[in-house]
Amino acid sequence: MNRPPWLAESAYPFDSRYFESDDGRLHYVDEGTGHPIVLVHGTPTWSFLYRNLITPLSRDYRVIAVDHLGFGLSETPTDAGYTPKDHADRLTSFIDSLDLGQFTLGVHDFGGPIGMSYAINKPETVSRLVVFNTWLWSLKDSITIRATSRLMRGWLGRLFYCRYNGSPRFLLKYMWGDESPLTDEIHQHYTAPFPSAEDRVPLWVLARELIGSSGWYESLWQRRSQIAQKPALVAWGLKDPSFGESYLDRWESALSNETVHRLPETGHFVPDEAADRVVPRLREFLAES
């Protein structure tokens, strides 16, 4: 398939590959050779989030980053499901199709429960974990998340997400710690994948599912022992206005073999905003075993 005109070769110099899921075509990149690293994004991002990790790490490792259905360069079928569990089921089919053996799993934002679902269900396949600002438990205890989810479920939320493309246009910028790397050109790569109201429905669904999928998140959290002892690198942006240190504390309680790298000046989108600081830590972590 042709690259869209808004996608800069210099920013995203990877060959596009495709996987035909039962619900629609998923786009992914698969760069380099060696021990596989699978990177799972959240919202409102896509594999572009990881571009500055893919390039250096693919010199020594096989780096795979997939776009969830409805995100990035994947299709957006109107009749597909877009809940986190729907994405997790498709991710499972995708990873299984690659027959990777053991691999390192990296997750961010909604990619946490989506990707960790695979690790919890098939712990023998995931050798190490890389965790960027995310969660794995019900968010019902968060007053802020409950209020946000309630607002976004109504007509005002649909207007914000579907008419104004508010998630990548406004929320993404708000959740950056240092906006200097987020140039207009880079920002366009986050807004352009959602050109119409129909294309933005998957974003709106995930906003609603912050609380709507609480039962599924909690079911994963109750099985966290499946991943608790795996070597884990946790790289956390401390200027994240939504995922504060209480989230990091909970990860530290759940993981018994973790290394934590705190980034005091970094916001939510760690793999993009702080790639230059994360890559050396990742290299050290991957070389340890």
pLDDT of residue 119: 98
Cα atoms found within 13 Å of the Cα of residue 137, Cβ hemisphere only = 15
Tally of CB atoms within 10 A around 20:
12
Catalytic annotation, pick one of 41, 109, 189, 272 = 109
pLDDT of residue 224: 98
Q: Are 248 and 270 in contact (CB under 8 A)?
A: no
Catalytic annotation, pick one of 30, 67, 86, 240 = 240
Determine the 3-state secondary structure of 39 from DSSP.
strand
pLDDT of residue 12: 98
The number of folded domains in the chain is 1
Beta-carbon contacts of residue 273 (< 8 Å; ≥ 6 apart): 176, 177, 178, 181, 182, 237, 266, 267
* Reported confidence tier of residue 79, pLDDT bands at 50, 70, 90: very high
Q: Which of 93-102, 140-149, 273-282 has the lowest mean pLDDT?
A: 140-149
Backbone angles phi, psi at 66, to 5 degrees: -110, 150
Respond yes or no: is residue 22 known to be catalytic.
no
Strand 258-263 to strand 62-66: parallel, antiparallel, or no bridges (unpaired)? unpaired
For residues 165-170, give the mean pLDDT. Answer: 96
- Is 250 a domain residue? yes
- 45-73: per-residue pLDDT in tens? 999 999 999 999 999 999 999 999 999 99
Tally of CB atoms within 10 A around 179:
12
- Is 195 a domain residue? yes
Catalytic annotation, pick one of 86, 189, 268, 272 = 268
Task: Report the distance separating Cα 85 and Cα 213, nearest Å.
Answer: 8
- Is 278 a domain residue? yes
CATH number reported for the structural domain that contains residue 123 in this entry:
3.40.50.1820
- Is 97 a domain residue? yes
pLDDT of residue 154: 81
Respond yes or no: is residue 15 known to be catalytic.
no
Respond yes or no: is residue 199 known to be catalytic.
no
pLDDT of residue 166: 95
Domain enclosing residue 100, as ranges: 17-287
pLDDT of residue 118: 98
Task: Report the distance separating Cα 172 and Cα 31, nearest Å.
Answer: 27
pLDDT of residue 285: 97
What is the rounded average pLDDT for all residues in the chain? Answer: 96
- Is 1 a domain residue? no
* Reported confidence tier of residue 289, pLDDT bands at 50, 70, 90: low
pLDDT of residue 256: 96
Q: Are 107 and 114 in contact (CB under 8 A)?
A: yes
Residue 197, pLDDT > 80, answer yes
- 9-54: per-residue pLDDT in tens? 999 999 999 999 999 999 999 999 999 999 999 999 999 999 999 9
- Is 198 a domain residue? yes
- 113-134: per-residue pLDDT in tens? 999 999 999 999 999 999 999 9
For residues 225-243, give the mean pLDDT. Answer: 97
Tokens for 55, please give them.
């390039």
pLDDT of residue 149: 76
For residues 227-238, give the mean pLDDT. Answer: 98
- Is 203 a domain residue? yes
pLDDT of residue 150: 77
User: Nearest 5 degrees, angle CA 217-CA 220-CA 221?
Assistant: 85
pLDDT of residue 146: 77
- Is 4 a domain residue? no
